[in-house]
Amino acid sequence: MDWSLYVVTDAKLSRGRSHLEVIRAAIAGGATVIQYREKEGTTRQLVEEAQALRELTRQMGVLFIVNDRVDVALAVDADGVHVGQDDMPAPIVRKLMGPGKIVGVSVDNLEQALQAEQDGADYLGAGPIFATPTKPDAAPPIGVDGLAEICRRVSIPVVAIGGLNAENAAEVIRAGAAGVAVVSAVVAAPDVEAAARRLWEVVDAARAIR
């Protein structure tokens, strides 16, 4: 699986563009994983939006993950689901999702990372690496050193998230991250495809000299 550029949706940051429009451009620019994250709207609305993204990602051969909502992930046959520390516990998510599906867990320290791996997570979303306006209630930044420690201690892929952009993405790849997860750096960009391509190029170059 290619975790290089993990793009998370955000309707409020998309400049009035639809999820489908933004994600189509992000994939054209090199996004390798798409996470549908939507905290508002009815379950029917979420399922309809996720279904459209599922069809697009399937056509383009890109992983599709649903944030938090196991029911929505199952409804649209997503590749997996991503949960946080206050969401449904990973072992229960694994049981509900069934074999062959991906379970990701957000962690902000080494203890959580080790527990998530023990609980059967397939990958970790570690952060925030830097302070981020996208999630003002996030835990304090763990920094590149905190990320590096997690990457050293677990054997599953670690995707870095939190305040990442083309200027600092190389640092987290050099620290051991399998990829970078971004929200505003791509979905809020005037030119989504160009922003995604720039990030992908930075990640690819950093990996080549790691």
State the first-to-last Cα distance of the chain, in angstroms, to the nearest integer: 19
**Residue 54 to residue 46: CA distance in whole angstroms:** 12
Instruction: List residues with catalytic annotation.
Output: 37, 106, 135
Give the Å distances, CA to CA, from 111 to 5, 106, 146, 173, 188: 25, 12, 11, 21, 33
115 phi/psi in degrees, rounded to 5? -65, -40
CA–CA separation, 33 and 41 (whole Å): 23
Asked if residue 105 lies in contact with residue 119, where contact means CB atoms within 8 angstroms, the answer is yes
Using a 10 angstrom Cβ sphere, with 0-12 exposed, 13-18 middle and 19 or more buried, the burial of residue 51 is middle
- Beta strands in the chain, from DSSP E residues, in sequence order: 5-8, 33-36, 63-67, 80-83, 102-107, 123-126, 158-161, 179-182
